[in-house]
Structures are given as structure tokens and as C-alpha cells.
Amino acid sequence: VTTGRRIDGYDIVAFDADDTLWRCEDSFRYAESRFAELVGPYVPKGVDLDAALRAVEKADVSVSGYGVKAFTLSMARAAIDVTDGAIPSAVVGDLLDVGRSMLLETVHLLPHVSEVLVEIAANIRIVLITKGDLVHQTRKVTTSGIEHHFSDIEILLEKDPAAYDKIMKRLGVEPERFLMIGNSVRSDVLPVMALGGHAVHIPYHLTWELERVDHHDEDVVELASIADLPAWLGIRSAFS
Amino acid sequence: VTTGRRIDGYDIVAFDADDTLWRCEDSFRYAESRFAELVGPYVPKGVDLDAALRAVEKADVSVSGYGVKAFTLSMARAAIDVTDGAIPSAVVGDLLDVGRSMLLETVHLLPHVSEVLVEIAANIRIVLITKGDLVHQTRKVTTSGIEHHFSDIEILLEKDPAAYDKIMKRLGVEPERFLMIGNSVRSDVLPVMALGGHAVHIPYHLTWELERVDHHDEDVVELASIADLPAWLGIRSAFS
């Protein structure tokens, strides 16, 4: 682990949300298991339903974007296609219900998130930068109980260098004074570093296939837990 | 028609997009007609499919928000519910295709939009403020051919006074120096006027049921066409 610059080396600390502040991928994995259970009876044994669903998701992402509504449409489409229309529409309705439950699910903060945000927000301006569905991400933010810590909430279509550049300009921060914290090397770390900004990777035990990075040449700072962040920033912590 | 303040009475002129700059509601009406055609054979004669779809849409909007993906999910749900599962899933697949076509549809600018934006942007800072689905609205903006006229593009979850207040602060404009142009009294006019800002209503011949306002006490400025806007703002126009 690289030693951190002290917190006064930054003007803004930005946090990703899904699987950085609260659980997210777990719900998708659960939905995938429900997809397999619901669609399984209508396909020959041996059909790889996970692969079928992911293929549809991958094809749909450029049209539908990220998030639960896009995923729900992909589940319905995949169920109809992989069964060649043999699945009853009532079962497609069950898949729509799975998606609806995801949209309405209570936010589950990850361990230590509340305390860490209190501690860091007492020392520096913090912002939240997430991507995905506007209505769902907004619902999660407003029901999370942690919204008030953030000076700004940005919900993006795609986390690429152009999007970060725009946000940094809007926030009035130079890249070298900007630190991004997140679980995705692809979305939270590499695009920020490409602009000359700083990032800390805090892996989550699950990573969505489309977020995986096979290879990169950056020397990425990684912390095992968000609980390690205050100490890394040189802030005394009551619990770390 | 109230006489307009001259353009130097404002710092920013903001435009709504759907049915103000480009056609939108027409696609939804077409999709509704496809819904009736596709689902009709599976319900008893006399069932009001338009009403069934709108009831589901209305129930879904608080969970799914605005936009084509939410609408597509509502179509699928309504088709399954109103037929009590009798509709084949392949037909539900056809409804998903209707939604996908809407997401991929070419943007059709309304008459005079290009010329009016050129003319107004030459005189004042203009911004675009729309609501709905992040990926779809972004696609429309970037393929519209008019994106470069706008200093800022804001895609909101809901166009209420709180959202406009936030945007005006972000843009650094006082409400009394802000003019909003749009086709929806509910979303483009009343919330802006509630903040002390200014608005011009340019009706479109179709209005989505959920955008309708039954009653209000404001004296709303209305223009028949966006082509009338430069003259209303006291800008000489080559074509009006």
C-alpha cells in the first residue's frame, strides 16, 4: 500500500456509491439467480442462462445504459429469446417484479461508511459521483441517510475522462487536488488518473463483468476497507 | 400575448427539449397504438387498453421515473396484467422492441428550432433543461445537431421548484434574470414562476396526461410557435 498524501493535499474527496458506500452487486447476483430459477424450466438442460443473460445485457448497454431498469428489460428480453417464446408471459411478469423489487430495495450501507464519512467531511469537502439510472440513484441517495455529508451529488451516464473533466471544472477543482474513492478500477480509478487526478481503489468482493479491467499499467493505490481511509489521509480515527 | 421584456432583461434563456425543440409525444402515441394492436387480440372486446396502460404508467412513475425505459416496462406489465397472462411472451417481446425503437429513433427537430437557436445564442447564453432518462436524453442531445449552442445541458429527475433553484444557483443566475421556454405549463412554467423567474409557454399539439394542469392562477405568457420568440425578445429576425 502506497502511503497517502495528507488530506491537505486535496480540495475535494469524491466517493463512488454502488459497492463503495452501499451494497449493489449482491442484488444483481440475486436477480440473476432468480432469472435462472424462473427461466430454467423452459430451456433444455445444459443451457447456460447466466451467459445468455449477460450476452443480452452487453448488447443492450449501449442503448439502455446502466441500472436496474435497463437490467430488467434485458432479463425480459433474454427470457423470451432463450426460450424462443416458450416462457409464459406471467413468468416474464415475475421477472419484471424482480426488477421492481430492486428499485424499491432499502439501501444497505457497507460497514464503517457512516463513521468514515463523518470523519472525512469534518476535514474536507466531499462529493458523491455515481452512474446509472437517474430515478433509482436519486432514490438511493435520498434514502441513504448520508446525503447531507455531500456538497454535490453527480449522477453520470458514463464515468470516463470527459465526464470527470466536466465535473472537476464544474466543482472548480484542479485534477491534482482531486481524490476519487471507489470499487471500480475501470470507472473510479483509471479515468481520474488519466486526467492527472488521484484515486484509491477499495475492492468489493463482487465485480460486475462489464466493470472488469483485464490489464492496465497504472500503479493503483488499494485499501482493503473504507475504514482504512482516514488513517491513509492522515486523519486520526477513533475506530481504525 | 404579453409583450416580452427585451433580451437584455435576462442573463440566461433556458429551453426544454421534448416537444419544445424536438418531437417526443408523437412517439409515445404511436407506441400506444402499437400496444393496442398487439394486446387487443388477447382481451375481450370493449376493454379500454389506453386506460389500462395509463393506469400502470401512473402507478409506475414514482418507482421508475420518466422516459422510454420506464414506459417500456409499463407496457410489458400492462400487457401481462390486462390479459391475465394470456398474452404470449413473444408478443411481450414485440412490445420490448417498440421501446427499443423509441430509444434508437432519430431526433426530429421541430420547425424553426435551428434558426431560432442560432439567433438567440448569438445574443445571450442559452442552456437546455430536460427531464427523463439519462442515457436516452443524452443520446438525443448528442445526435440533435444543436448541442453546441448550449453552454450547459441539465437532465433532471423532476422539474420542480427545488430542482430549478439548484440549477439557477449552479448556473449563477438570479431567478428574475432567468427565462424558461417550454411546452409544459406544469414542468416548464409554473415551477420557474414560483421562484420569481420568467417563462414562456409554447404549446405542443399533444400533451402527455401526466403533464396536464387542470387549474392554476398564474398569468402565463404563451407563444404559438418558437418562431415568434426572437421577435418577442426584441431580436430582429430574418424569418419572422
The C-alpha cell of B94 is what?
Answer: 414485440
B80:A65 CB<8 A:
no
Query: What is the pLDDT averaged over residues A183-189?
Result: 94
Residue A240's pLDDT is 46
Residue A65's pLDDT is 86
Decide if A9 touches B, using CB distance below 8 A.
Answer: no
Residues A20 and A226: beta-carbon distance below 8 Å: yes
Residue B240's pLDDT is 46
Decide if A78 touches B, using CB distance below 8 A.
Answer: no
Residue of B151, B186, B184 lying closest to B170 (CA atoms): B151
Contacts 24+ apart (CB under 8 A), B156-162: B156/A134, B156/B129, B156/B130, B156/B131, B157/A134, B157/A135, B157/A138, B157/B65, B157/B131, B158/B131, B159/B129, B159/B131, B159/B184, B159/B187, B159/B188, B159/B191, B160/B191, B161/B191, B161/B194, B161/B195
Residue A238's pLDDT is 52
The C-alpha cell of B109 is what?
Answer: 427537430
* Mutation choice for B interface testing from A56, A57, A61, A69 by most B CBs within 10 A: A69
Q: Which amino acid is at A171?
A: L
- Prediction pTM value: 0.87
Closest CA in chain B for residue A95: B77
Q: Which pLDDT tens digit goes with each residue over A56-90?
A: 999 998 899 889 999 999 999 999 999 999 999 99
Q: What is the mean pLDDT of chain A?
A: 92
Residue A1's pLDDT is 41
List, as ranges, residues 118-147 from A with C-beta within 8 Å of B: 132-136, 138
Residue B134's pLDDT is 85
Residue of B146, B206, B91 lying closest to A87 (CA atoms): B91
For A12, phi then psi, to 5°, come to -140, 135
Element housing A232 (H / E): helix A229-232
Decide if B50 touches A, using CB distance below 8 A.
Answer: no
Residue of A210, A205, A164, A165 lying closest to A186 (CA atoms): A210
Whether the pLDDT of residue A111 is over 90: the answer is: yes
Q: Interface pTM (ipTM) of the complex?
A: 0.86
Query: What is the pLDDT averaged over residues A218-234?
Result: 92
The three-state DSSP-derived secondary structure of A43-71 is CCCCCCHHHHHHHHHHHHHHHHCCCHHHH
Residue A20's pLDDT is 96
Q: How far is CA A237 from CA A117, A234, B16, in A?
A: 11, 9, 48
Closest CA in chain A for residue B171: A170
Sheet with B152-156, side-by-side order of all strands: B152-156, B125-131, B12-15, B178-182, B198-201, B221-222
Q: Which amino acid is at A130?
A: T
Closest CA in chain B for residue A132: B134
Low-confidence spans in chain B with pLDDT less than 50: 1-2, 240
Q: At what angle do helices A25-39 and A89-104 cross, to 10 degrees?
A: 170
Residue A76's pLDDT is 98
Q: How is B167-184 classified by DSSP, letter by letter?
A: HHHHHT--GGGEEEEES-
For A129, phi then psi, to 5°, come to -130, 110
